[in-house]
Amino acid sequence: MVYSTGVSRSRSIAAFVVLLVIATARIVATYSVFNDTIDEPWHIACGMEWLSGGTYDCNPEHPPLARAMMALGPYLAGVRDSGLKDGQMRGRADLHQGGNFDRMLTLARMGILPFFWLAALVVYLWARRSFGEPAAFFATLCFTMFPATLAHAGLATTDMPATASIGAAFLAMLAWVGKPTPLRSLLFAAALALAVLSKFSSLAFLPSAAVAALAAYLFTQRPRFQSLFQLIRLAAPLAVLVAVTTALLIWAGYRFHFAGVPAPELWQGIRDVVAHNRGGHPGYLLGHYSERGWWYYFPVAISVKTPLALLLLVAIGAFVCWRRRAERDGAYLTPVAFSLGILVFASVFSHINLGMRHVLPAYIAFSVIAGVGAQWLWSSGLAARGSLAGLLLWFAASSALSHPDYLAYFNALAGSQPENILVDSDLDWGQDMKRLAARLKELDVKELAFEPFNRAYVEELQSAHEFPPFHPVDPSGPAHGWNAASLTMLKLWRKEPWADRIPPTERVGKGVLLWYVP
């Protein structure tokens, strides 16, 4: 059900398109600034394998759809699977085909843009469907200005596809539950298949979000048992249609491969994810190392990686949603339930704490909640409108000033050394090696001590005489002359324990420190 607020539909759509165009331009502008991050060549290699030969043996821990979209641009430009054993080297070899690595990387990153557009559309439609046009505009504004959204929409990784597809599947579920029809059943099935084929976290996040939303509905609406039973009875045949269609579409994503079971790569990928999570992964938080993670990892990451103005809008929106929880068939608590379902599951069960990107789908709902808060301020008098204008200007300024380093954005709570809180894909994902090479050339550096996080890219620059010779760092102290440190290597892997005692000469980009020792 759409709730009218007096704003024309055409103006609302025009505003949405303008916001989308601005955000897209900001994303594309980052392509030439950053070299490939650690994960990008690996994802591209697996997508290229799927496109080139139809097999999917490279690394089934992530499903093929998002990866195929990354590889599509280079594939259409003539790139084919190099077939190397190592996934990182395989992807790099693919990107080097045609003699222009940067161009192929740009084409790969462009494959993620449709997912960003879909995610923004989900935010817009969800807010408009439940709360009206002004809320839809404010929600879209928040989503398209959020630095982490811009960052992961500009990289050839699976995080933006997961965000878009999980949001789309949940919104399709809301529409289907509200009025189950054959057409809505097919759309719901397509959205579910899109989510599963984009990232396996959807298999955990969607059920947890759905259970939380159901609990919120039962709490606010207190429906009679007879009404629920009637709804289940009517929807049951269409639920079967959803399940069968979803299964067929997922199987189609694996090219209907059958080897004892349909889509054996799907089941192997799920087993790999479960094993990975059970075994844990090296992580860093607040100066500490762990392979099992922390339950408070994502709350801390959200508190320092989200613009403070957006956090305030989300808090105001959550307050409004709670006050109006019984209105509009419980729609006010639904986005709150969605985000809490994801965050609680990730905090309790995830032992892979690599970055806030793993809970990026929660920001679909955060944006909707912020839109509710902004709409409430807008309709609450002149003083409240002034407060809203101040918050949006603050948000816009913090977003604009973070360009192009959206990936490494931290708010003021993190202070001047955010590496003491988080590293890896929240700060240094190996993206600043191109900048470092340019800076070393300006300084006429002939040799340095360095343990690069993105070693493969640096070695390629060195072989092309674009990076000076480098040697391992001495853990006991800096070498005479130039020394460099990738912040992830410095903090997570403790490669340069002396670096905490000696102030750096300068910071290159956001992820590299540079020292000169006479």
User: Domain boundary at 401, 416, 438, which?
Assistant: 401
pLDDT of res. 442: 96
Q: Domain for residue 8, yes or no?
A: no
Pure H helices in 254-306: 264-279, 297-305
- For the chain (length 518 residues), average pLDDT per consecutive 10? 59 94 98 95 95 88 96 95 89 91 96 98 96 95 98 98 98 94 96 98 97 92 78 86 97 93 95 95 94 96 98 98 89 96 96 95 98 96 96 97 97 95 96 96 94 92 92 88 93 82 93 93
- Pairwise CA distance, residues 92 & 81, whole Å: 11
What SS3 class is residue 292?
A: coil
Contacts 24+ apart (CB under 8 A), 46-51: 46/71, 46/87, 47/71, 47/72, 48/74, 48/75, 48/79, 48/80, 48/81, 48/82, 48/91, 48/94, 49/81, 51/75, 51/81
The range of the structural domain enclosing residue 431 comes to 427-517
What's the one-letter identity of residue 44? Answer: I
Q: Name the packing angle between helices 159-178 and 362-378 (round to 10°).
A: 70
Q: Domain for residue 332, yes or no?
A: yes
- Pairwise CA distance, residues 262 & 271, whole Å: 15
Pair 179, 223 in one domain:
yes
Q: How many residues does the chain have?
A: 518
Pair 391, 432 in one domain:
no
Pair 163, 249 in one domain:
yes
pLDDT of res. 288: 93
Pair 238, 387 in one domain:
yes
Q: Domain for residue 6, yes or no?
A: no
Q: Domain for residue 417, yes or no?
A: no
Pair 252, 105 in one domain:
no
Pair 330, 437 in one domain:
no
Pair 247, 390 in one domain:
yes
Q: Domain for residue 407, yes or no?
A: no
Q: What is the pLDDT of residues 240-284, one digit of tens each?
A: 999 999 999 999 999 999 999 999 999 999 999 999 999 999 999
pLDDT of res. 62: 95
What SS3 class is residue 512?
A: strand
pLDDT of res. 1: 42
Pair 105, 123 in one domain:
no
Pair 79, 205 in one domain:
no
User: Domain boundary at 385, 401, 417, which?
Assistant: 401
Pair 239, 270 in one domain:
yes
Pair 382, 513 in one domain:
no
pLDDT of res. 7: 64
> Residue 373: which of 355, 359, 388 has the closest Cα?
388
> Residue 358: which of 431, 425, 282 has the closest Cα?
425
For strands 448-451 and 470-471, give the pairing. Answer: parallel
pLDDT of res. 92: 94
Q: Domain for residue 419, yes or no?
A: no
Q: Domain for residue 201, yes or no?
A: yes
Q: Domain for residue 30, yes or no?
A: no
Chain centroid to Cα 30, Å, comes to 16
User: Domain boundary at 59, 85, 110, which?
Assistant: 110
Q: Name the packing angle between helices 133-145 and 362-378 (round to 10°).
A: 130
Pair 101, 137 in one domain:
no
Computed from CA positions of residues 489, 490, 493, 496, in that sequence, does the dihedral angle turn out positive or negative? positive
Structural domains counted in the chain: 3
Cβ atoms of residues 304 and 355 within 8 Å: no
